[in-house]
Amino acid sequence: MTDEKKVAATGAASKNSEKPSPAVKKTKVEKEEKPKNEDKKDKKFNNPFSEQDPLQAKLVNMLMRSGKKTIARRVLRDTFEEMHRRGEKDPLKALEKALQNATPTMEVKPRRVGGSIYQIPIEVTPKRQESLPLRWILAGARSKKGQPMYRRLAGELLDAASEQGFAFNKKMEVHKMAQSNKAFAHLARY
């Protein structure tokens, strides 16, 4: 037998045999492990927390209690991670959407006109439009009990982003008050 025939005979014998050669076995194992490793390997979450972002800085300052800013920063960072764990791909966009959904355009202010106090609807100033939704979201998160703050805050932000929750209900309540008192809008100039 020539060398070519020997190689062909051993190749045919190895194909017909039930046990593959060790070299073939390694390639099969390597091919099978790659997809398993990719499934197990979760992509690293890049936390969008930034101290230079004015919106996040304002949220940290409003979240802070007793001057403990590092704890407030950690809570916000953990909030973004919790939002990612709950399926939100971009927590920063969800934060902006939550604030947009909870921002009121009209509110009522009491004014005394001719001895009577009227609830007069007025437009909300831009500076107040930034602070009110943050205040309501934090109030909604603080009112829940039994969980760490970052989970409560993540839940409230996701609720506000999907037009639910305490902050969104508060906005709708303020708009409803302004709508019901629009007959007194002409008294705003006093």
**pLDDT for 85:** 95
pTM: 0.74
Could you read off the pLDDT of 16-74 as tens digits, one per residue? 555 555 555 555 445 445 444 444 445 678 889 998 999 999 999 999 999 999 999 99
Could you read off the pLDDT of 110-150 as tens digits, one per residue? 999 889 999 999 999 999 999 999 999 999 999 999 999 99
Give the contacts of 116 (CB within 8 A, at least 6 positions apart): none
Report the candidate in 96, 84, 8 with the shortest Cα–Cα distance to residue 53.
Answer: 96
- Phi/psi of residue 106, each to 5°? -130, 150
From CA 168, how far away is CA 80, in angstroms rounded? 20
- Phi/psi of residue 160, each to 5°? -65, -35
For each of the domains in the chain, give its residue range(s) and CATH number, in order of start: 3-40 (no CATH), 54-189 (1.10.455.10)
